[in-house]
Amino acid sequence: MEQKIQLKESDIPRQWYNIAADLPTPVLPPLGPDGKPITPDMLAPVFPMNLIEQEVSTERWIDIPDEILNILYRWRPAPLKRAVYLEKWLDTPARIYYKDESYSPPGSHKPNTAVAQAWYNKQFGIKKLTTETGAGQWGSALAFACKILGLGCKVYMVRISFDQKPFRKIMMNVWGADCVASPSDQTNAGRKVLEEKPDTPGSLGIAISEAIEEAVTDKTGKTRYSLGSVLNHVLLHQTIIGLEAKKQLEMAGEKKPDIIIGCAGGGSNFSGLAFPFTADKINGEDIEIIPVEPTACPTMTRAPFAYDHGDTACMTPLLAMYTLGHAFIPPPIHAGGLRYHGMAPLVCQCINEGLFKPRSLDQVECYQSALIWAQTEGSICAPETSHAIAVAIQEAKKAKEEGKEKVILFNYSGHGLMDLNGYQAFLNNKLEAFELPDSELEKAEDVLKSYPKAEIRKSGKW
């Protein structure tokens, strides 16, 4: 039995998979300030038109340009690995596979879309990209992609992570990007928050507002904004993960996975792995698909489904999603990438259909799982990734109780070598389990009251 299942470069998928073509009930349209569906040209100050076309596309397959593949070959195809040592430790009949996205130069799945977005922006004549980052994985991925493609890059990094993870900022600087803590004094959105709450830990929502403001106020018209998750085109670019994994599972002699797991912040690494298999589920295959989030930021498991802005300053269109409200300031848990108030509308629609069954876990159980992983498989995972590992362990234990040979597949979204502070806090018993109090959810309902209602629509098949 091979522990690593490798594809040849010539076997790399040449098209991305667009789940919008196969959803039984489409996502609700994004709405503008007047409550009416937005048109593509309304997004033009923020994104280049070639990416807007992907955002609204309902074509099932979209070609990946060769020039993008040429950059991805630096680390793709990524290996599929079998977690044999964890299986042995758990004494489980389950076969646990994971897609190792930590191989990329910045160390996560994020460059799969960073490279694509930078390339399309360059094609469109754009010279500089702005963005937000939570844990710093996305910011460093975009910095890397912009350097390779010769674009400028400015990153607004959520203050709590800026302080907790100084090495991520250095990585961005090494790749030539400018990184500032958000809220900053460089934008109106940042200054307003600083005036009201000078010692705020920041949030992805605030950082997004700052990055969009810088892009749309550039008088040359050559700056655009780039988002690392949530939007349809970002999830599309990540489907290369699941498409590779499908071929690799076949090479390993597996007919299909029984359970698919991914941690979900905005939903991109989870969707990247899960969407190509969700197509099979839509066509009748029996697969349990589980996105995992922290109990501290329980968007999918406790928040209302509502129209809300993607950012704190309400600059983005209203998106139909599970949301804790755009004003939500998440507690400073260590999985910085899982602290976003909303969730990708495509993921939310799959939840509404019953295709996905979200789960939430507290950070203590996640770090316990990360330690088991490091002490069996060997690698030190990102705190975000530990959520997927923890559920993989739960499911492997369940398979043992049931005496079933299940095939479990999860996404190893990134390494944790820049996130050792969290491990230190855990080892020193300084980490606490945290459950978001109901009062925070009531605040969310309050924020969302004034927006159009988002109806939960489903076909009733699952």
Ligand X SMILES: Cc1ncc(COP(=O)(O)O)c(C=O)c1O
In this structure, how many other beta carbons lie within 10 angstroms of the beta carbon of residue 456?
14
Q: Candidates 194-202, 214-222, 259-267, 439-447: pick the segment binding ligand X (CB under 6 A).
A: 259-267
Output phi, psi for 263, to 5 deg: -75, 150
Q: Is 18 a residue that touches ligand X (CB under 6 A)?
A: no
Task: Please report, for residues 46, 117, 155, 183, 272, the alpha-carbon distance to residue 217 in angstroms, rounded to integers and kept in the order given.
Answer: 10, 20, 16, 17, 32
Q: Candidates 168-176, 183-191, 302-310, 378-386: pick the segment binding ligand X (CB under 6 A).
A: 378-386
- Size of residue set near ligand X by CB under 6 A: 21
Q: In angstroms, what is the minimal distance from the CB of 336 to ligand X? A: 7
The smaller minimum CB distance to ligand X, of residues 231 and 399, is found at 231
Taking the C-alpha atoms of residue 199 and residue 188, their distance in angstroms, rounded to an integer, is 17
DSSP code of 259?
E
Q: Which of 121, 137, 278, 316 binds ligand X (CB under 6 A)?
A: 137
Q: Which of positions 310-369 make contact with ligand X (CB under 6 A)?
A: 337-338
Q: Candidates 26-34, 350-358, 359-367, 382-390: pick the segment binding ligand X (CB under 6 A).
A: 382-390
Q: Is 23 a residue that touches ligand X (CB under 6 A)?
A: no
Q: In angstroms, what is the minimal distance from the CB of 57 to ligand X? A: 20
Q: Is 266 a residue that touches ligand X (CB under 6 A)?
A: yes
Q: Candidates 31-39, 51-59, 265-273, 452-460: pick the segment binding ligand X (CB under 6 A).
A: 265-273
Q: Which of 138, 277, 307, 410 binds ligand X (CB under 6 A)?
A: 138
In this structure, how many other beta carbons lie within 10 angstroms of the beta carbon of residue 170?
14
Structure tokens at 278: 């969700």
259-263 and 407-412 beta bridge pairing:
parallel
Task: Please report, for residues 125, 155, 417, the alpha-carbon distance to residue 222 in angstroms, rounded to integers and kept in the order given.
Answer: 7, 16, 35
Contact 203, 158 (CB under 8 A): yes
CA dihedral 51, 56, 60, 61 (to 10 degrees): -10
Single-letter code of the amino acid located at 419: D
Tell which residue, 384, 357, 389, 243, has the closest CA to residue 289. 357
Q: Which of 71, 382, 418, 454 binds ligand X (CB under 6 A)?
A: 382
The smaller minimum CB distance to ligand X, of residues 92 and 104, is found at 104
Taking the C-alpha atoms of residue 268 and residue 233, their distance in angstroms, rounded to an integer, is 10
Q: Which of positions 56-115 make contact with ligand X (CB under 6 A)?
A: 108
Q: Is 264 a residue that touches ligand X (CB under 6 A)?
A: yes
Contact 241, 110 (CB under 8 A): no
Taking the C-alpha atoms of residue 189 and residue 191, their distance in angstroms, rounded to an integer, is 6
Q: In angstroms, what is the minimal distance from the CB of 297 to ligand X? A: 11
Q: Which of 87, 244, 384, 440 binds ligand X (CB under 6 A)?
A: 384
Q: Roughly how many angstroms between the first and final C-alpha of the chain, as a whole number?
A: 35
Per the DSSP assignment, residues forming a β-bridge with 333 are none
The smaller minimum CB distance to ligand X, of residues 209 and 411, is found at 411
Q: In angstroms, what is the minimal distance from the CB of 303 to ligand X? A: 15
Cα-to-chain-centroid distance, residue 179 = 20
The smaller minimum CB distance to ligand X, of residues 132 and 440, is found at 132
Q: Which of positions 209-238 make contact with ligand X (CB under 6 A)?
A: 229
Task: Please report, for residues 61, 239, 244, 247, the alpha-carbon distance to residue 14 in angstroms, rounded to integers and kept in the order given.
Answer: 9, 11, 10, 13
Q: Which of 155, 206, 263, 448 binds ligand X (CB under 6 A)?
A: 263
Window 396-435: contact mask with ligand X (x via CB under 6 A): -----------------xx---------------------
Q: Which of 113, 130, 203, 268 binds ligand X (CB under 6 A)?
A: 268
Q: In angstroms, what is the minimal distance from the CB of 218 to ligand X? A: 25
The smaller minimum CB distance to ligand X, of residues 95 and 272, is found at 272
Tell which residue, 26, 57, 8, has the closest CA to residue 320. 26
Rg (CA), the chain: 20
Taking the C-alpha atoms of residue 155 and residue 114, their distance in angstroms, rounded to an integer, is 13
Q: Which of 111, 183, 265, 317 binds ligand X (CB under 6 A)?
A: 265
Nearest residue to ligand X, scored by beta-carbon proximity: 337
Q: Using CB under 6 A as the criterion, which residues of the chain lie in contact with ligand X when the complex forms? A: 108, 134-135, 137-138, 229, 263-270, 337-338, 382, 384-385, 413-414
